[in-house]
Chains A and B, each alone.
Chain A
Amino acid sequence: MTYEKREFIADLAVIGSGLAGMAASIFALKRGISTAQAGNTGALAYTTGYLDLLGDAGTGAAEHLGDPWAGIRELQKSQPNHPLARVPENDIHEAFTEFTSFISECGIAYGAPGKVNLKALTPAGTTKPTFSVPATMQPGVDALASQARCVIIDFKGLRGFSGRQVVANLKDRWPGLTTERVSFPDMPMGEIYPEVMARALEVPGTREKLADAIKSVRGDAQVIGLPAILGMHNPDLVMTELSRLLGCPVFEIPTMPPSVPGIRLREMFEQVFPKKGLTLVPQQKVRSVEFDTDSVQLVLADNHGPIIIHAKAVILATGRFLSGGLEAEQTGIVEPLVNLPVAQPTSRDSWYSMEYMGRDGHAIHQCGIRVDDAFRPLDKDGKVVDPRLFAAGVILAHQDWIRGRCGAGVAISSAYRAVQGAEQIILQKNN
């Protein structure tokens, strides 16, 4: 076997395959920018499929934000360095619209971004504020809002998703909620897995058998909830067909990650991007980035040997600790790829508060890469590190995506701005 060095030339290189990296590639494709994307699979498979914008602006309010836009205006005043405070509201709206319409066109329909947050269901029977949900989950949001008579179906052998748990925690708020357990068709024994169930439901015969099983227990339910198993590649079709067979709306509730809706997104991107002309090197870690006078070079390798990507601009969307974009050493937090300075507290003792679930969250989540308004990383003196380098997603400093319920919001909005900036650099170079 010979190992050939392969070289790719693109205008834009995107490092990272999480939500921010995927969003950056979508925005670049829409602008006709030749793009190469590389980097470890991000935490995409850990997402629920819900796209949050902003659920908490850190004001100490008891309730989550009903209006994320009001929260963003609050951030503009109280946390001007927050990534969501640095993207014009129109751009945020446009970014979500472009993102959700792209994935809808590719076969995973999402609701168009609106003015308010939705109350979405979780597998624990709690609700969370989110901004845009897959079409397969929307009827659940609607059923909760309208207090429809609803039965949650769970499955013998499916661990970690208990209809009784969902009902136990929601019954005070939703009296018409009940649960029933069925066996998944042709899988009567042992443990069964959401991914396997989802792929099985792509087959019409399995859907018919499942519909029969559900019919026998559904009672007078007006709407039927299931764990997120409605197909892997054609969820909208699977939902529509199951609804038709049952004669009422059906919906999905996310399961614990890695969950089907996250895997759907990842698989869809990996199939669609190459077809649209994007050079995708998934599942491989970028080893180094070199900023030469003529180009930025990404060095990586796969089973077939080394790969070099030459680009005019680069977007760093490598995520935080879970995805390897940041590393926490005993003595401090570093950004291992470009060695960018990381905004952080002076001592490890300040990373985490004493109370895990205290209201204020933890300082470590505010750590990250400092950028200017064009999302270009800054060095220790506050100067732009390289005009061709942009950063997007949760690697950015001055945000807490977990407590803010703003992971997708930060990823999509900052990717949008980063691509805007990169486009200008590329246009200059091409002229």
Chain B
Amino acid sequence: MTSSPTSQAGTAIETVKTDVLIIGGGATGTGIMRDLALRSVHCRLIDKQDLCAGASGGNHGLLHSGARYVLSDPHSASECREEGEILKRTSSQCIENTGGLFVAVKGDDEGFIRDFPALCQAAGIPVQELTPKEALELEPQLSKDIIAAYAVPDATIDPFRLALENVNHARELNDSTYHPHTTLCDFEIGDGRIIAAFCRDSRTGKELRIVAKQYVNAGGAWAMDIARLAGCNDVNLLYSKGTLLISHDRLTTRVINRLRPPADGDILVPGGTVSVLGTTSLRTDDLENVRPTIAEVDKNVVEGTAMVPALAHARYIRAFSRVRPLVQHGDDQNDRNVARSFALMNHEDQNLNNFCTITGGKLTTFRLMAEKTSDLVAKRLGNTEPCTTATTPLPGGQACKWTEPGASPKYWYEANNSEDMILCECEMVPQSAIDQIVLCAPGAENEMTLEAIALRSRAGKGPCQGSFCGIRIASYLYDRGYYQDTTGLHHMKSFFNERFKGLRTIIWGQQAAQMELAEALHCGLLGLDRLEEKKTNKADNE
């Protein structure tokens, strides 16, 4: 035993029980939570930040047809195809079936262009050759210099909606519980088993001891650190930093991929009213201070412009970076060639029989990753119910719908309630959406941060990036009594600081004016830059 259930201050720590503790609220962790709940297994899910805080929330939102991996990783290509088809059937509310194009421009590798259709067919991926003229008719923003084009069944997926729906469904099925901003601090280990997990609420500092029968490490890029806390040294990850850009306008109807071996800035994915361009790929050791750089932003723009020239002069509203965990096999130095498959480790050779780690992989295959993990966990629990996520439709939760582009304005017009004022004008998020999120969204709590609300809605996703609606929503939360003292001002400050990380590298053109106005409001008028430090010992959620 490493620890007894009293805190450093000597007070008793609250202990809660569950069948399975899942660590990590990304697509995989929430997918496992739902999968197990469908098998009547109760789960608790913890995340040190919030849902999709890692790579699950920091990608293109691309539901791969698999065509991107046909050369480098044919196995992943087939997996993507199968999983894509399943998700389109079961989780359609999270998916826009856009279709995708692979396009080559002058100078791209003609051998790769020639081999591409056969490679797709080998992986079972439907592929249709288009003439450059046909491609331009479908997507007028494409470069006039394209020399080859193929249509594939790519689609887009909203990972935030997906994670929210997963958690919501698990909650409805058997009261499985999600604990946001809950950091795993230590494991209590004895007799080849984890006995308990010691956690701390990173906002309030409150400690929590969770006793489970099985422990699942779905920590994504943090999985290696979590495994080491349990004394397991068999998780070896490489970290690859990717930076992406969001344009103010949606430039294409379909996903546009560069028809070449994967490289920088070669995918443009539509998402509601915007497009997402990326990505770069850079080896990193740092998981905590991952931010876009000017060089990465400019590189994406230059590379993307070869496919879609309008990207050179587009207005960008945000850049973001996340770390992809790549499971290390051998010593390949090119991260793009590291297999994008996932790894499930049962840790039995590490002398633990109730702990496993799932990591690597990609958003498109999250369901399969959850299935394999849940199979292992269920078997260990003696549960014989099969996985049903490949066939059971994901129900749409009332409080989960607000991340969908266009859902808020549609709701608002249909409700036609003049008392229900719009708080975020860019994305037309009304007061009632905020009320519903604060009351019943997965992870809802009385004093929600603005980041937590933004994650569960479209608030702050438009061109103002929250600089206006952050003020309005905070004001509304004060008005409703959720914020009761200067803590609310600190929530505002923290929200604007966080949004700024995504803005810093793309502040040119109209965004410079937007940013000047934002800072004039936040600092010049409201004085948030001179806010006194809080007198309470509440720590900010990092």
Interface, chain A (partner B; CB < 8 A): 43, 46, 48, 64, 122-128, 157, 159-162, 164-165, 168-169, 171-172, 189-191, 254, 256-257, 320-322, 324, 327-330, 347-349, 351-352, 354-359, 362, 364-365, 401-403, 405, 407
Contacts and interface: CB of A to CB of B under 8 A. Distances in A.
Nearest to B528: A357
Given A127-B527, A159-B421, A159-B423, A329 B294 contact: no
A165 B489 CA distance: 10
Interface in B421-478: 421-423, 468, 471-472, 474-476, 478
Interface residues of B, number: 53
B418 A190 contact: yes
Interface in B486-542: 486, 488-489, 492-493, 496-497, 500-501, 504, 507-509, 512-513, 515-517, 519-531
B319 to A, nearest CB: 12
24 contacts: A46-B517, A124-B475, A124-B526, A124-B527, A126-B531, A157-B419, A159-B472, A159-B476, A162-B476, A162-B478, A164-B481, A168-B478, A190-B418, A191-B421, A321-B512, A349-B293, A351-B507, A352-B500, A355-B497, A356-B497, A357-B522, A358-B529, A359-B529, A364-B512
A422 to B, nearest CB: 27
Interface of B: 291, 293-294, 298, 301, 418-419, 421-423, 468, 471-472, 474-476, 478-479, 481, 483-486, 488-489, 492-493, 496-497, 500-501, 504, 507-509, 512-513, 515-517, 519-531
Contacts, number: 144
B320 to A, nearest CB: 15
A330 B419 CA distance: 43
Contacts of B501: 356
B451 to A, nearest CB: 14
A169 B489 contact: yes
A161 B475 contact: yes
B526 A357 contact: no
A169 B485 contact: yes
Contacts of A401: 524
B247 to A, nearest CB: 14
A328 B512 contact: yes
A186 to B, nearest CB: 15
A347 B294 contact: yes
Is chain A's binding surface mostly helix, strand, loop or mixed? loop
A402 B488 contact: no
A128 B525 CA distance: 7
B523 A402 contact: yes
Given A168-B484, A348-B508, A402-B524, A357 B497 contact: yes
Contacts of A356: 496-497, 500-501, 504, 519
B471 A405 contact: no
Given A128-B525, A191-B418, A348-B508, A322 B497 contact: no
A349 B475 contact: no
B504 A46 contact: no
Nearest to A256: B471
B459 to A, nearest CB: 14
A48 B478 contact: no
Contacts of B530: 64
Contacts of A64: 530
The residue in B479, B492, B523 that gathers the most chain A C-beta atoms within 10 A of its C-beta is: B479
B183 to A, nearest CB: 23
Nearest to A359: B529
